[in-house]
Amino acid sequence: MQLEDQVISLDNAKKLKELGVKQDSFVSYIFYKKSRYELKISNTGFDYQIQYSAFTAAELLEIFPNINGNPIIIKKIYNFSEDIYYFCHYEHLEEIDVYCSDKNPANACAKMLIYLIENKLIEVKNDNN
């Protein structure tokens, strides 16, 4: 499995940073010349001007709070075309029932976290980015 298959997409990484999620992951997207980003191990001693945390599913699960006792559920689903999808599910009483899916489990988690923050269902508490 490639590293790109284990971390969130660059678009999701940018969105999470924009929403104020603390940039603390093992791997980051680092900007190189000509608008190109590469995945590099974070904190390698270099100070990059533009950097986005490329969270894994495990790192994102640590960020998710236990919202009012309602857990975030991750399911691995096989469909008829033999593709595998990961569904991140959040159910809060009968008011909210949210599913976010992606072929990459980290992206499914990122989409859920983005949804919860944008809809003010959770608040980002962050000392520094």
Q: What pLDDT digit, counting tens, does each position of 46-103 carry? A: 566 678 999 999 899 888 765 556 667 777 777 666 666 777 776 665 556 677 888 8
DSSP state of 44: S
Token look-up 């980051």 returns: 28
> How distant is the alpha carbon of residue 42 from its chain centre?
16
14 has pLDDT over 80: yes
Nearest 5°: the CA angle 52, 57, 61 is 100
Dihedral sign for Cα 24, 62, 59, 16, please.
Answer: negative
Q: Is the per-residue pLDDT at 6 higher than 60?
A: yes
Would you state the pLDDT for residue 68?
Answer: 59
pLDDT band at 12 (very low <50, low <70, confident <90, very high): very high
pLDDT at 62: 83
pLDDT at 91: 66
As a residue count, the chain comes to 129
> Coil, strand or helix: which one is 84?
strand
Bigger pLDDT: 36 vs 128: 36
The reported pLDDT for the residue numbered 67 is 59
